[in-house]
């Protein structure tokens, strides 16, 4: 018996510097794969965050750490697109992924801390036009995210709030603890 309608492939994109990657990234990935029924989840490791200073760890080291962390998760692919798309901008990344996956639905995954500042991102409204924004809770940011400018402007049609347990870890906390040890 033939299926009357082909199932749409769903691709998740978790973009960032992963400086360094941590268990929170992995937990978000597990939940996103399950709740969004993703065919694939791309950890898009960028050279730098345009809204922050330079990265603490070198790109190659961050990619290696991400690959080691995701080993055993066949649906999670670690890639860096900066040299291919000649940019660290999310809109360029989403456009590139869309062009190479024409029949797929794209989900851009972020924490609620990033949603609070999403309106500062380059062409943020277009990003939301080209994919669904899937937002995960971060301690101290859930209420701010619910009332932020991007949520008010884009609404629940473009932003999907994912309910999951909060993981109280961040790359910046890890870097601070690392610096205390050396």
In tens, the pLDDT along 155-164 reads: 888 999 998 7
Predicted confidence at residue 179, as pLDDT, reads 47
Mean pLDDT of 49-73: 88
Predicted TM-score of the model (pTM): 0.87
The pLDDT-based confidence of 177 (bands split at 50, 70, 90) is: very low
Question: Exposure pattern of 162-175 as b/e (b: 16+ CB <10 Å)?
Answer: beeebbeeebeebe
Mean pLDDT in the chain? 87
For residue range 127-153, list pLDDT tens digits in order: 999 999 999 988 888 889 989 999 999
Q: Given a cut of 80, is residue 180 above it in pLDDT?
A: no
Q: Given a cut of 90, is residue 12 above it in pLDDT?
A: yes
């Amino acid at each position: 018996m033939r299926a009357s309608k082909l199932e749409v492939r769903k691709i998740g994109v978790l973009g960032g510097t992963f400086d360094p990657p941590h268990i929170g990234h992995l937990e978000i990935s597990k939940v996103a794969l399950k709740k969004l029924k993703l065919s694939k989840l791309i950890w898009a490791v960028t050279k730098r965050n345009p809204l922050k200073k330079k990265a603490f760890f070198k790109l190659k080291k961050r990619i290696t750490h991400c690959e080691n962390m995701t080993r055993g998760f066949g649906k999670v692919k670690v890639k860096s697109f900066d040299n291919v798309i000649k940019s660290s901008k999310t809109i360029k990344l989403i456009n590139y992924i869309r062009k190479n996956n024409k029949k797929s639905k794209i989900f851009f995954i972020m924490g609620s801390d990033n949603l609070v500042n999403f309106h500062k991102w380059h062409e943020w409204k277009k990003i939301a036009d080209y994919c669904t924004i899937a937002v995960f809770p971060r301690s101290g940011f859930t209420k701010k995210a619910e009332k932020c400018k991007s949520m008010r402007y884009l609404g629940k049609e473009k932003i999907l709030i994912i309910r999951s347990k909060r993981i109280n870890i961040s790359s910046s906390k890890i870097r601070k603890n690392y610096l205390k040890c050396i």
